[in-house]
Structure 1
């Protein structure tokens, strides 16, 4: 069966980038490269944007809520607005992916243990082939667990062989 891929860029928003996720510059460079590669290969791109409740970091219409300035959608791209961790929960992402003919999703973005993880598992549960680009996601850390350890835990232990193929870089869509 031929795999039709879609790139899903999760929550690369001003507020989260400004908060300083682990290996921020490398992750932003990887995400930018994935977007460029997808455009060159005419692979559909879905940008996901999280909205918090009023007063939250990612309050809708705030500067922090906006897509990060160098990583933002073009007119042909799909934009999904969400209010929960999973980009599938109470959104039309599944319908959009079906419309695009996608059977494989390539995930990148922020934050590893929240929205990237929830979207990864939700995509897997819906029958998509899931690929996570290890250099294309990051987080801020959570309590006593460093961002580096969280990224390692999910990318090397939780996702591979269970929910997703994890690749360091993407050779092809």
Structure 2
């Protein structure tokens, strides 16, 4: 197969949660890198899939999540990452992008066997998603400069675990898709 998709994890966000103050500086650093990845992936015709927490809004859909985030105080972090008309969007309820979502089926139907995971939070959702991808025999790449963290030390440990224990490729976002 050898088809790669860019997965954007939890970046459509209001940042109205307990760890937001610790997370926001890191998000501000990674947004330009994620924007660049989105542009290059789209230019290369790689599928772009947003997988986003529903934040307990059980009656919401991706459009409502986006509208709420864009109406919030941190809209400047969301606006540049807005899904385009070709982007796919999956709503999740827990940490892993695979947990009780149709993502596995979608990847199979699209012939995708390599994932580039970007977004947030490195030491939580990105880590758990990488593990779930690994146990599904998917190749995983993590651009270290395109994942946001709450705690730098835990993020560094998570990146090390993904690389060593899950055979993930950890690299710079500049190494992915041609400019």
Q: TM-score w.r.t. structure 2 length?
A: 0.80
Superposed CA RMSD: 2.5
Runs in 1 of length 4+ with deviation above 6 angstroms?
A: none
Q: Deviations over 1:128-153 (max 9, x none)?
A: 0000110011122xxxxxx2212211
Runs of at least 5 residues in structure 1 that lack an aligned partner in the other structure: 55-59, 141-146
Between 17-26 and 76-85, the greater mean CA deviation after superposition: 17-26
**Compared CA separation, residues 126 and 51, structure 1 to 2 (3 A):** same
Runs of at least 5 residues in structure 2 that lack an aligned partner in the other structure: 58-63
**Compared CA separation, residues 117 and 81, structure 1 to 2 (3 A):** same
Structure 2 Cα separation of the partners of residues 17 and 159 of structure 1: 28
Match of 1:63 among 47, 53, 68: 68
Structure 2 Cα separation of the partners of residues 36 and 123 of structure 1: 24
In the other structure, the counterpart of 1:110 is 120
Structure 2 Cα separation of the partners of residues 149 and 16 of structure 1: 21
In the other structure, the counterpart of 1:38 is 41
Matches within 5 A, 1:1-173: 3-16=2-15, 19-20=20-21, 21=23, 22-53=25-56, 61=65, 63-64=68-69, 68-140=78-150, 147-155=151-159, 157-163=160-166, 164-173=168-177
Structure 1 Cα separation of the partners of residues 16 and 48 of structure 2: 20
Say which structure is richer in helix.
Answer: 2
Structure 2 Cα separation of the partners of residues 65 and 96 of structure 1: 27
Q: Deviations over 1:66-88 (max 9, x none)?
A: 89221021121110000011111
| Contact 2:37–2:176 under 8 Å retained in 1 | no
**Compared CA separation, residues 38 and 91, structure 1 to 2 (3 A):** same
Between 163-172 and 77-86, the greater mean CA deviation after superposition: 163-172
